[in-house]
Structure 1
C-alpha cells in the first residue's frame, strides 16, 4: 500500500512539474540558445576591445603613478581639500545660526499667541536672521576658492579622467552582454526558471450580463522567441513569427494578444492539443476554445479589424477570396457583412429578347462555358425541360416596347478593325486572343447577338441598359456598324425555329417563372417582375463560426469537419443533396486555388464584434483611398491608365507611345496634384476632347454624382502634397508678368503645338484645368514625370542645375530658369482672363538646324479623348424577327 502511495505521489509530482509544463522544455532551450548567442557576442566584443582595453589600463596605471609621484599634484590636492574643509566649516556655522533663528522664531510666535509684548523677541529674531545672511558672502568666497582649486586639479589630471571615460565607454557594451548572460543563467549550475508569460486584453467583449470580458493569452509561454528574427530556421514553437514587419510590429501581442488572429484556447499551456483547440472540433466554446487556424486560414480573422479594406497588406489569400466573392456575385444570393451594397454582377435581362435569340439563351443556361469558357456564370446543371422553361420565361418577360435607335446601316469591317484597335475597346474586351479580360470575350459574339442590337449597343449602350457599366464611347451609328461588322466576323447567329415555337407555350412560361424565382436568377440579373425578391440562400455573416453539428453532410463519407464541408460544397455544390435537402447552389467550376481563397474568406465571416479601440478605424484619407480603389477596379480604369503602380494594359495594343492614355498616378506624377477638382468632376460627368491627336477615347461612364465625388477625393488623397483650395477662373496676374510669359512662350515657340490643341493640349484648356502649383513642376521635370510624353524637356541639365538650351538662347534675356518657368505659369494661369492680351508676336526667331530641332512638342503626353462627329447614316433594315 505504501509503495502504491509513493508511486502515485511520484507520478503526481512528475505530471504537475513536467507533463503539464511542457513549456519548461521550450523555455530552457530558448534560454540556452540566448545564453550561447550572448557568449558568442561577448567573445566577439571582448576580442574586439581587449587590446584597446589593455592599452588604456596601462596608460591609466602610468598616469596614476605619475600623479602619485608629482609634488605639484599633491599640493593641488591638499589645496582643494583645505578649500573644501573651509567651505564646509562656513556652511556648518550657517546651519547653527539657522537653528538659533528657529529657536528665536518659536519664542516670538509663542509671545504673540499669549498676547504678551513681543518686541524683545522680534528684535532678537531679526538680529539672528541678519547674522545668518552674513554667512552668504563668506560661503560664496570659499566656494570660489574651491572651484579654482578643483579646476586646477582637474586640469592636472585631465588625461586620467579622459582615459577613465574612454574605458567605461569601451567596456559598456560588454557589460550589457554580461548582464544578458546573467539573466539567462543567473547561477553557474542553473538556467533561468521557466515562467508563465501572458497578455491580458481588457474590454475584449461584453457578456450577456453587460460585464466586461477579459481575454488572457499565454501563447508566448511556449512561443517565447516569436519576434526574434534569429529563430526563423528553428522548429515550432521557437520559430520566428512570419512577416514581422506587418503582423507583429503593427499588431504587438502585448496589446492585441494572439488568439484574436489565430484562435485556439489562450489560457491553456498544456497539453498542446488543448492550447491549439484541436480537441474541440465538435464541441466549441466561441472565442474560448476554437480550433487554431492553420496555413492561409490564419488570414481570415484579419476581417475582424480590417473589414472595409479590399486589398489588405499581408493577407493575399483573403484579398483574393474577396475579389472572387465579389466577381462571382455570391452576395446576390447570400447576405454577407461588408458586401451588402455590392451591385449585381450580371447583365440586365429586362430586354434580353432584343439582344439574343431563344436558341442562344437555351444553350447558354444549359452550359455557359460552352460559349465562354472563362465566364463567371455558373452551371445550374439544368435538364432540357428546365432550360427551355427558363428560356421561355426570359423571352416572354422581356420589354415589349423597346426600339433600336436606327435601322441597321452597312458596316465596313476593315474600318471596324481599325476603330476597335484604336478607340480603347481592347482595354476591356478580348477578340481572337488580343485584348484584356475585364469584360466578356467577343470572339464568338457573332453567334450570339442580333446585328442591329450590337450596332445599337456599341453606339449607345445606355439606351438599352441605363445602368450598364459598359461606357459610351460616343461613336456614331456608322462607326458602331463598322465595329459590329468586324466583330460579327461573318458568323451566323444561332437560330432554332422549332425551339422558338415551343418556347411560346404559356405553361412552359409559367414553369420557367417558377424556376427563375426558385434558382435566384434575379440575384445577378435584373429580371422583370422580380425587383422585390429577397436573397434565396443562407446568410454568411457568421458562417465561419458554424459548428460541425449544424452542417448537413447528407450521404457523404467525408470527415466531419467545417473545412471538409466547405471545400466539398464549393467543389461539388450538390454533394450533400438528398431526397429531403435540395441544394440550389450552382457549380462555378472553381479551381483549387480559388476554393482555398474562398475558404479563407468564409472562415472570416465569423460575426465577431471587435471593440472600437482595437479596430483599425480608417482616417478620412484612407477611406477616400479605399472607396476610390473599389471604383477604379469596378470601372476598369487600369485598363487604360496607370494607377498606383498598376494598369495601362491597353498600351501593348496601341501603335506608338503617342497614343498612350495619360497616367492617373505614376511615380511622382499624381492627377490629383495636377488637375483642379472642379475640372475633374465636370470632365467625368461629361468628357470633352482634351488630347484630340489621340484615338483612344475617354468614354462617358454612367457615374453618379456621388461616385464622381468619391473618385475626385481619391485622386486628391493620392497626391503627396497638402490639398490646397482651388483658385477661381480668370485669376488676376500683374500685366507685366503675363507679358513676360508671352515673350517666353513665343521664344520657345510653344504655340506651334498648344495654340489650337492639334498636337498638344490647348492653352485655353490648360488654363482652366491645371493647378497653378503643379505647372512649374511639370515644366522642369517633364520627361521624368511621364516618360512616354512627346513633350521634351525645354532646359538642359548641367551639374544638377537647369540651363537654357542653345536653341532658346533668347531666353537668357528673361532671367533665370525659375523666372522663365514662373513667367510661363503666369501666362497659362491667366490665359483665359479677357483683360490680358496674349497675342504679342516677336520678331522672327533665329533658324536652327534640323538636327537640333526637337520632334513635335506636346504640353502633356498620353491618352486621348477625341470625340467624333456622327457620320451620315445609311438605312438598311435587317428582318431579324
Structure 2
C-alpha cells in the first residue's frame, strides 16, 4: 500500500474500537481544545479545533501524518506537560481516596477485608443491598448528589454521555454506569436525560472570576490535598532548587469543571454541601468571589463540548414521565432523590448475605442494568473478602472500640488527607508543600507550622466546645492560607462523640 494512502477514521469509532481514549492526559481534543497540548497539536497538523468530543466529520490524514499525530499525543501526555488539574493522570477505577492510600495488593486478606468494608460503604453498595443488622451503622450509604436543577448545570448532551457511561466521561467517578454495556438502551438514557433536564433552577448571581487569582487560591486553600496540583505551579514552600514530584496517590478528578457551566461550578464551589450533602466534597469556606475565581481557573481553555453520538442516533423524544419511570426502574433513587416534589422509592435488591461473588458488579463480563463501576482487581478482591466475612456471620469487631470508631469516621471523611492521628495519615510529601501559613490556628500540635495539626489527643485538648467550633462553625483562618473545611453536621457529630470518648482521660498534650 502506498505510504501516502489517505486514512480516514471517525474519532468516535476509533475510540470505541479501543484505539485511543478521548481524554488522554495533556491533549483533550474536545472539551480541552484550548489547552496548550491540543493547540500545539492542532497547529502542527493544521487541523481544525474540534468543538465537541466526538467529531461528526472524519479526520483524514496520511500514514506519516498519523505517526506524527500519535507521537504528538504521546508527548502531550508526558507528566511535565500536565499544566492544569484537568490534565491529571486518569483514574481508571472508582476512586475512594483512603482505600488507595491505605490498602495494597501485598496486604493480607484480613486487612484487605477491612478495605472491602470501606468500599461497601463509600460506593453505596448498601443503598441497594441490605447489610446484616450488626453492620448497618457502619456500612450506611451516603446521600448522593442532589439532582434538583441539574438541567441548568449541565447541557443535555453532556448529561446523556455521563449517564450512558460515567467512567468514560469522568474517570475515577464513584457513579456506576447502568447503561454502559454494548447492550445499553439509548432510549432509556434519553428518557432519564429528558426527566432530569426538565429540572432547572435560578442560579445565584456570581461575580466575574479571575483565573489567575483562582490559580493561586486552588493551590493555597487546600484543594490539592485531594485534587491534582498543576505541574507549572511552584508552591511558596518549595526550595528554589528542588524538583517537584507528582503526588503518588491518585487525585480526585475535577472533570465536572469540564462539563458544568462556569456560573454553576462557581455556585457549587461556594456551597458544595447544598449540592453534595455527603460532605466528601467539603465546604472550603470560599467567598463568592473566591469561588468564581477558582471556577474561572478550572475553565481555562475549556470549550463547550457537544455530543455527535447522541445527535447521530436521532433518538425520538421519550417524555418526562417515561424518564421518571426509568429513573425508578433502574434504581437511581437508591442514591439520588428524584427531582421535583414527588418522592420515588427505589425497589429493593438482594441482601449482601446472598450475593454471589462472581456475578453482578463483580462479574467478569457485565450486562446492561447491572451497576458497572469498572472496579480494579484490588477492589474486587477486597469486596469479595468483605462479602465472604459478612456471609460467614462475622461481626464488626474491628470497629468495636471508640478508637476504631474514630478511625473509621476519619477514614470515610478522608480526614487523613490532611491530618495524622496515631501515626496514620497526613499529606504526602508532594502535596505537603502546598500547605501554607505561619502557624497552627487550632492550638493542636503539628509537625510543621504550615502543616495541618496532628489530631492526637484532640478530644482531650479541645473538648466538645472546641471540637464543635472547629468542625461545625465558620472560622477565621488568621494564621493559615490552607483552610479547615466544613463537612456538614450529620457527618461530623458522630466523629466529635468518638473523639471525646477515645481521648477521655488522656493528658491534653
Shorter-chain TM range is 0.5 to 0.7
Structure 2 match to 1:687: 474
In structure 2, relative to structure 1, the CA distance for the partners of 1:617 and 1:484 (3 Å cut) is: closer
Structure 2 match to 1:456: 267
Structure 1 match to 2:499: 715
1:662 Cα offset (Å): 1.2
Structure 2 match to 1:470: 281
1:493 Cα offset (Å): 2.8
Root-mean-square deviation over aligned CA pairs: 3.6
Q: Deviations over 1:248-279 (max 9, x none)?
A: xxxxxxxxxxxxxxxxxxxxxxxxxxxxxxxx
Match of 1:539 among 351, 358, 372: 351
Structure 2 match to 1:653: 434
In structure 2, relative to structure 1, the CA distance for the partners of 1:367 and 1:618 (3 Å cut) is: closer
1:390 Cα offset (Å): 1.8
1:468 Cα offset (Å): 4.8
- Distance in 2 (CA, whole Å) between partners of 1:314 and 1:609 is 14
In structure 2, relative to structure 1, the CA distance for the partners of 1:708 and 1:333 (3 Å cut) is: closer
Q: Do 2:109 and 2:385's aligned partners in 1 also have CA atoms closer than 8 Å? A: no
- Distance in 2 (CA, whole Å) between partners of 1:439 and 1:493 is 24
Q: Deviations over 1:536-568 (max 9, x none)?
A: 42122x327xxxxxxxxxxxxxxxxx76x4499
1:703 maps onto 2:480 in alignment: no
1:313 Cα offset (Å): 9.9
Q: Do 1:336 and 1:539's aligned partners in 2 also have CA atoms closer than 8 Å? A: yes
1:488 Cα offset (Å): 0.9
Aligned residues: 368
- Distance in 1 (CA, whole Å) between partners of 2:450 and 2:318 is 56
Q: Deviations over 1:401-421 (max 9, x none)?
A: x33222x42222111111111
Structure 2 match to 1:595: 380
Q: Deviations over 1:570-628 (max 9, x none)?
A: 22233xxxxxxxx7323222233322222222222337499xxxx96987xx1x33333
Q: Do 1:356 and 1:449's aligned partners in 2 also have CA atoms closer than 8 Å? A: yes
- Distance in 1 (CA, whole Å) between partners of 2:359 and 2:186 is 30
Q: Deviations over 1:54-83 (max 9, x none)?
A: xxxxxxxxxxxxxxxxxxxxxxxxxxxxxx
Question: Which aligned runs of 4 or more in structure 1 are off by greater than 6 angstroms?
Answer: 433-439, 497-500, 502-506
Structure 2 match to 1:644: 422
Summarize the alignment of residues 837-856 of structure 1 with structure 2, pairs less than 5 Å apart. none
Structure 1 match to 2:76: none
1:437 Cα offset (Å): 7.2
Structure 2 match to 1:519: 330
1:655 Cα offset (Å): 5.2
Structure 2 match to 1:447: 258
Structure 2 match to 1:754: none
Q: Deviations over 1:30-67 (max 9, x none)?
A: xxxxxxxxxxxxxxxxxxxxxxxxxxxxxxxxxxxxxx
1:712 Cα offset (Å): 2.7
In structure 2, relative to structure 1, the CA distance for the partners of 1:317 and 1:519 (3 Å cut) is: same
In structure 2, relative to structure 1, the CA distance for the partners of 1:644 and 1:527 (3 Å cut) is: farther
Structure 2 match to 1:430: 228
Q: Do 2:270 and 2:286's aligned partners in 1 also have CA atoms closer than 8 Å? A: yes
Structure 1 match to 2:114: 319
More helix per residue = 1
Q: Do 1:318 and 1:601's aligned partners in 2 also have CA atoms closer than 8 Å? A: yes
- Distance in 2 (CA, whole Å) between partners of 1:605 and 1:466 is 28
Match of 1:528 among 327, 334, 339: 339
In structure 2, relative to structure 1, the CA distance for the partners of 1:674 and 1:511 (3 Å cut) is: same
1:676 maps onto 2:463 in alignment: yes
Where 2:119 maps in the other structure, the secondary structure is helix
In structure 2, relative to structure 1, the CA distance for the partners of 1:439 and 1:388 (3 Å cut) is: farther
Q: Do 1:570 and 1:595's aligned partners in 2 also have CA atoms closer than 8 Å? A: no
- Distance in 1 (CA, whole Å) between partners of 2:335 and 2:469 is 32
Match of 2:161 among 345, 350, 363: 363
Q: Do 1:449 and 1:493's aligned partners in 2 also have CA atoms closer than 8 Å? A: no
Match of 2:173 among 375, 381, 388: 375
Q: Deviations over 1:371-411 (max 9, x none)?
A: 22222222322243232222112112x2x4x33222x4222
Q: Do 1:436 and 1:639's aligned partners in 2 also have CA atoms closer than 8 Å? A: no
Q: Do 1:460 and 1:472's aligned partners in 2 also have CA atoms closer than 8 Å? A: yes
- Distance in 1 (CA, whole Å) between partners of 2:249 and 2:149 is 25
Q: Do 1:428 and 1:436's aligned partners in 2 also have CA atoms closer than 8 Å? A: no
Where 1:507 maps in the other structure, the secondary structure is coil
- Distance in 2 (CA, whole Å) between partners of 1:343 and 1:567 is 19
**Unmatched 5+ stretches in structure 2:** 1-106, 232-245, 438-447
- Distance in 1 (CA, whole Å) between partners of 2:338 and 2:248 is 29
- Distance in 1 (CA, whole Å) between partners of 2:191 and 2:360 is 32
Match of 1:573 among 362, 366, 369: 366
- Distance in 1 (CA, whole Å) between partners of 2:461 and 2:161 is 51
Structure 1 match to 2:293: 482
Summarize the alignment of residues 110-129 of structure 1 with structure 2, pairs less than 5 Å apart. none
Q: Deviations over 1:442-494 (max 9, x none)?
A: 1x444300111111111222444556543222222211111111111220232
Structure 1 match to 2:150: 352
Q: Do 2:215 and 2:294's aligned partners in 1 also have CA atoms closer than 8 Å? A: yes
Q: Do 2:284 and 2:484's aligned partners in 1 also have CA atoms closer than 8 Å? A: yes
Q: Do 1:459 and 1:474's aligned partners in 2 also have CA atoms closer than 8 Å? A: yes
Summarize the alignment of residues 178-217 of structure 1 with structure 2, pairs less than 5 Å apart. none
In structure 2, relative to structure 1, the CA distance for the partners of 1:348 and 1:475 (3 Å cut) is: same
Q: Do 2:361 and 2:370's aligned partners in 1 also have CA atoms closer than 8 Å? A: no
- Distance in 2 (CA, whole Å) between partners of 1:441 and 1:492 is 18
In structure 2, relative to structure 1, the CA distance for the partners of 1:436 and 1:537 (3 Å cut) is: farther
Summarize the alignment of residues 134-533 of structure 1 with structure 2, pairs less than 5 Å apart. 315-337=110-132, 338-339=135-136, 342-344=140-142, 346-380=144-178, 381=180, 382-396=184-198, 398=199, 400=200, 402-406=201-205, 408-430=206-228, 440-442=252-254, 444-464=255-275, 468-495=279-306, 507-528=318-339, 531-533=343-345
**Unmatched 5+ stretches in structure 1:** 1-311, 545-561, 575-582, 724-772, 778-881
Q: Do 2:328 and 2:344's aligned partners in 1 also have CA atoms closer than 8 Å? A: no
- Distance in 2 (CA, whole Å) between partners of 1:701 and 1:568 is 29
1:700 Cα offset (Å): 2.6
Structure 2 match to 1:839: none
- Distance in 2 (CA, whole Å) between partners of 1:617 and 1:414 is 47
Structure 1 match to 2:407: 629
TM-score computed with the length of structure 2 as normaliser? 0.63
- Distance in 2 (CA, whole Å) between partners of 1:627 and 1:674 is 19
